[in-house]
Amino acid sequence: MNATSSPSYLRRWILAARPRTLPAAVSPVLVGWAVAFHSAPLRWDAALALLGVALLLQVNANLINDVVDFQQGTDTAERLGPLRVTQAGLLTPRQVWMGVVVVFALAGLLGVYLTFVSGWAVVIMGLSAFAGALAYSTGPFPLAKKGLGELAVMLFFGFLAVCGTVFVLAGRVPALAWWGGLAVGALVTNVLVVNNLRDIDTDRKAGRRTLPVRWGYRAGENEYLAMLALAYLTPLALLALGWVNLWGLLPLFSLFRALPLALKIHRVPQGRAFNPLLADTAQLALIYSLLLAAGIALGG
């Protein structure tokens, strides 16, 4: 890469952070705020600190995934997804690992503040999230290679993120938080599903046993549709249980974005054409979460 085409040093780190994936970190925190709103007076200092921790941990997960996939030979010149800075030679593995340390330290500073607000449970949740980011890509049993990526996303971006936010802000975890984690986790899981469908051939070569690799392309498409159904049935279930009123159906207004994606998943040709669908799926998770949070806040 010549000097005229090479991005600036700051731009390289922005690329490494993968800003388009950050809705996955914001979405569950928003829903957690809304659930906590009904349980205790909302402390905005703690709420914003939690959002900062979530964003930093997401960036850290992206950095770890970037450097580990390069070092393990998963990211090669055949890569179809957005640019990875380590594989592209924009940052060295040592620089990226140093970035992991710095970002974790920043998250830790916010965590210290939250510890004074809510106690040592915050430390346990933060360390669990960081350990999850490592276990996803590396270690003796890397979840991504074993086909357990969806389970990890649902656990960390759904239940832990939503319920953890509510616990820190309210000191308790009502059942509504678990339902919110289920809905948000399903839509964030779909970001990974799109990624796995796009990379089915390169994942197979790299020995990754994702669901599409194990069960075929059609299974990945059906998984995407199943996660959409799970998310959009959740508000109806909450209304039927009496835990929300009609305001709780606000997420259904995001169907205008979801239905085209449900059709598109069957029509997109394999390869780089999946990259716009990846961004659209992440945006859907954020729009849905904003509406779910509003519905819970107004009618939970």
- Other CB atoms within a 10 A radius of the CB of residue 192 amount to 24
d(CA 212, CA 281): 18
Question: What is the average pLDDT score of the chain?
Answer: 87
Q: What pLDDT score was predicted for residue 1?
A: 45
Q: What pLDDT score was predicted for residue 75?
A: 62
25-39, 145-159, 161-175: range with lowest mean pLDDT: 145-159
* Joined tokens for residue 77: 């010149």
Q: What pLDDT score was predicted for residue 77?
A: 60
Instruction: Please answer whether residues 267 and 211 qualify as being in contact, where contact means their C-beta atoms are separated by less than 8 angstroms.
Output: no
Q: What pLDDT score was predicted for residue 4?
A: 45
Q: How much is the average pLDDT of 178-193?
A: 95
Q: Which residue has better confidence, 268 or 8?
A: 8
Q: What pLDDT score was predicted for residue 183?
A: 96
Q: What pLDDT score was predicted for residue 299?
A: 81
Q: How far apart are the first and last CA of the chain?
A: 54
Sign of CA dihedral 88, 93, 98, 100: positive
67-76, 208-217, 246-255, 280-289: range with lowest mean pLDDT: 67-76
Q: What pLDDT score was predicted for residue 70?
A: 84
pLDDT digits (tens, 9 = 90+) for 278-295: 889 999 999 999 999 999
52-61, 73-82, 171-180, 290-299: range with lowest mean pLDDT: 73-82
Q: What pLDDT score was predicted for residue 231?
A: 97
Closest to 199 measured CA to CA, from 214, 213, 215, 219: 213
d(CA 160, CA 126): 10
d(CA 58, CA 157): 10
Q: What pLDDT score was predicted for residue 127?
A: 82
Element spanning 164, H or E:
helix 161-170
Q: Which residue has better confidence, 150 or 288?
A: 288
Does pLDDT of 12 surpass 90? yes
Sign of CA dihedral 281, 282, 283, 289: positive
Angle ∠(85,89,94) on CA atoms, nearest 5: 80
Q: How much is the average pLDDT of 80-98?
A: 86
d(CA 170, CA 164): 10
Residue 273 — very low, low, confident or very high, per pLDDT cuts 50/70/90?
confident
Residue with tokens 């921790």: 53
Domain map of the chain by residue range? Answer: 9-299
pLDDT digits (tens, 9 = 90+) for 106-135: 998 998 888 888 777 788 887 887 787 777
Q: How much is the average pLDDT of 63-78?
A: 77
d(CA 184, CA 24): 9
d(CA 238, CA 245): 8
CATH topology of domain 9-299: Farnesyl Diphosphate Synthase (1.10.600)
Task: Report the half-sphere exposure of 154 (CA within 13 A, side-chain side).
Answer: 14
